[in-house]
Structure 1
Amino acid sequence: MPEPTSRALPAWSEFQRRMRRYVGGRVEPAWADDVTGDIFLRLLQRQDSLAEARDPLAWTYRVAANVIADHHRRRSVERRTLEQLGAEARAPDPGSNGGDHEALRRDLEACLLPFALELPPKYAEALLLTYFEELSQVEAARRLGLSVSGMKSRVQRARAMLKRQLMDCCDFELDRRGAVIDMRPREAGRDGSAAG
Structure 2
Amino acid sequence: MEINTIHNQFYIILGKYIKARINDTDDASDVLQEVFIKINENLGSLTDDSKLKSWIFTITRNSIIDYYRKSSHQKKSELTECMMQKTMQETDFDNSQSLDCCIINFIERLPEEYQGIIMDSEIHGIKQKDLTEKYSLAYPSIRSRVQRGRSKLKEMLLDCCSIELDRRGNVMNVTSKKSCSGGKC
TM-score by length of 2: 0.46
Larger Rg: 1
